[in-house]
Structure 1
Amino acid sequence: MALSATINLLTASLVVAISGGLRVYVAFLLSGKNVNISIPLVMILIVYSTYTLDRTINCAEDEINRTEESNANKFFPYFLLCICLLCAILILIQNRIFPLIALFPIIMGFMYTKGFKIGDFSIKLKKGRGIKNFFVAFTWALTIIFLIYPADNLSLFLIFILFFIKSFINTVIFDFKDIKGDSRAGLKTIPVYFGELKAKLLLHLIQSSFHIVLIVLAIFGLIKFELFILFYSWIGGIIYILLYANSKKTIFRGIVVHGEWAHMLIFRSLVI
């Protein structure tokens, strides 16, 4: 039982980690820079470490939402995430990128899960009504910008907003499946606070409005983003919001939502 729980804990973040690496790859394409393949690898290691840490540190709602990991041996996840972080730092040093970038998501992740307290002052980012989604999205969008810097300022800004919105939407979609545990723990996530229908409409509004703006800018030549990536991101977002912005349990949610960048790049290689 403990072995199965440990394996589940160690492998649970693999899909989202690979998705993080592919996001950096796409960010390189949007910025017009040559892809340095070691940088997406760094992102995979950082994302895996951050999400494995989040799953390893238990909190009230996780005990309800993730009962299959309750008996996991915590030594192996901690050991593995330390190895991943060390490898990420060494690769960043080799590429002459500030190595402490690798620790930024880990610090934000710890503050998200456990919070930070000095005397009477305390802060915890795992709050409701979109606060936690904002900080998660901000963390990953800013990390992507750190990793692809330098580039054109306008491109960097729009890439930041794009991945901020995509990450925000993805985190809200995964909040839908945790409505039961979050409600019991008193955590008012966006699906809990607005209800499933209104929350889904909000995601469609955010996703479509920004993509339409980017597509118009690209069509008129004001930005040099690939139209294929923009259209695929827009349509793909519409589809997985329609399919997975609900509380139904399905194994395909993570594959489709986080796998967006994988099939985007596959179709791109066939079309372009």
Structure 2
Amino acid sequence: MEAVKASMFVVVSAFFRVLFAQKIAGMFDLELSLAFSLVVLSIYTLDRSFDYISKQGLIAALIFVSAAIALSNNPAVPLLALFIGFMYSKGIKGVRLKGGYGIKNIVTALTWGTVIAFYSKIGSFIIAFFAVKSFIITILNDFRDVEDDLKNGIITIPAILGERAVYFLLFVHFTFHGLIFSFLPLTPYLFSLTSGLFCIWKIKPKIAQAEFIIQPFLIELSSA
């Protein structure tokens, strides 16, 4: 199924993102990590299903979110996340959250940050950290979709700023890491700082997502 296959990389990244968030919060819950991965899989399968016009994808998204509800400590969270995903991708009566001028980036970033917090520990740092990282990743993805976004009437930040969008992201990246210096152990912090710098400069969104696969191990080593 194309919709599911196209979503798998971000789902793997999602699992390690929430695992990293749990490590930051001093906890570990494999069921919640799997539940969050299923939430992400349901949202991205739903989004890809609209791209591929796939009824099977829509059914799969509902199955995935049902499994996430079974594993979640709050059944409302997967449903709310899926609804936000629907409003982002499809919308109702022409109203959707996939708007231009950075709106879709902000919606995506805040959704990632808050839902990760629900599956780790509610806290302003966890929400802010994963929201900002996700905001940067979404804009990096927009660089490759400029033409398609413009055809669909979505004015993205790279479309507005052109190459200057890279410098905007660098400003966000360095400013944010300056603010969070005392919140992360040194090794995960330096890895986040340097890998983020590389991904922004080279415009590598997939590598930016892959960062989270390594981070849980780094924070574990830092606490050993």
Q: TM-score, normalised to structure 2's length?
A: 0.92
Residue 132 (structure 1) aligned with residue 132 (structure 2): no
In 1, Cα distance between equivalents of 2:109 and 2:215:
20
Please give the alpha-carbon distance, in whole angstroms, between the structure 1 residues aligned to 2:24 and 2:214. Answer: 17
**Structure 1 residue 258 and structure 2 residue 209: aligned?**
yes
Q: Percent identity?
A: 30
CA distance in 2, matches of 1:136, 1:108: 9
Match of 2:173 in 1: 207
Q: Judge conservation of contact 2:8–2:41 (CA < 8 Å) in 1.
A: yes
Q: Report SS of the residue matched to 1:115.
A: coil
Task: Count how many residue pairs are aligned between Structure 1 and Structure 2.
Answer: 223
Contact 2:185 2:219 in 1 (8 A): no
Q: CA deviation at 1:270?
A: 6.1
1:238 aligned to 2:197?
A: yes
Q: Does residue 116 in structure 1 map to residue 92 in structure 2?
A: yes
Matching of residue 23 in structure 1 with residue 17 in structure 2: yes
Partner of 2:46: 53
Distance 1:98 1:8 in 2: 30
Q: Say which of 71, 75, 86 aligns to 1:91.
A: 71
Residues in 1 aligned to 2:31 and 2:187: alpha-carbon distance in whole angstroms: 24
Q: Deviations over 1:97-132 (max 9, x none)?
A: 221111121111111112234xxxx63211111001
> 1:21–1:40: 8 Å Cα contact kept in structure 2?
yes
In the alignment, residue 35 of structure 1 is paired with which amino acid?
Answer: F
For structure 2, the residue ranges without an aligned partner over 5 or more in a row are none
Distance in 2, matches of 1:30 and 1:269, equals 9
- Indicate whether 1:42 and 2:44 are aligned: no
Q: Do residues 226 (structure 1) and 185 (structure 2) align?
A: yes
- Aligned-partner residue type, residue 209 of structure 1: T
Q: Please list, as runs of the form range in 1=range in 2, the aligned pairs for 1:70-219 lying within 5 A after superposition.
A: 70=52, 74-92=54-72, 97-117=73-93, 123-149=95-121, 156-195=123-162, 197-215=163-181, 218=182
Deviations 1:163-198 (CA, angstroms, capped at 9, x unpaired): 110010111110110011112222100101111x21
Task: Decide which structure has the larger Cα Rg and report it.
Answer: 1
1:200 offset after TM fit, Å?
A: 0.7
Q: Distance in 2 between matches of 1:213 and 1:43?
A: 27
Structure 1: runs of 5+ lacking an equivalent: 1-6, 59-69, 151-155, 246-252
User: What's the CA shift for 1:235?
Assistant: 1.1
Q: Tell me by how many angstroms 1:142 deviates.
A: 0.7
The 1-side partners of 2:153 and 2:96 are apart by: 14
Give 1:35 deviation, angstroms: 0.6
- The answer to whether the 8 Å contact 1:30/1:226 transfers is no
- Runs of 4+, deviation exceeding 6 Å: none
Q: Quick one: distance in 1 between partners of 2:218 and 2:125? A: 23
Aligned equivalents of 1:135 and 1:238: distance in 2?
Answer: 23
1:16 CA displacement:
0.6
Letter in 2 for 1:183: L
Q: C-alpha distance in 2, partners of 1:210/1:10?
A: 33
Contact 1:13–1:48 under 8 Å retained in 2: yes
TM-score (norm 1): 0.76
- The residue identity in structure 2 corresponding to 1:25 is L
User: How well do the aligned residues superpose, as a CA RMSD in angstroms?
Assistant: 1.9
Residues 209-258 of structure 1, C-alpha deviation per residue, up to 9 Å, x if partnerless?
1112211xx2xxxx4x322222211111111111126xxxxxxx52x122
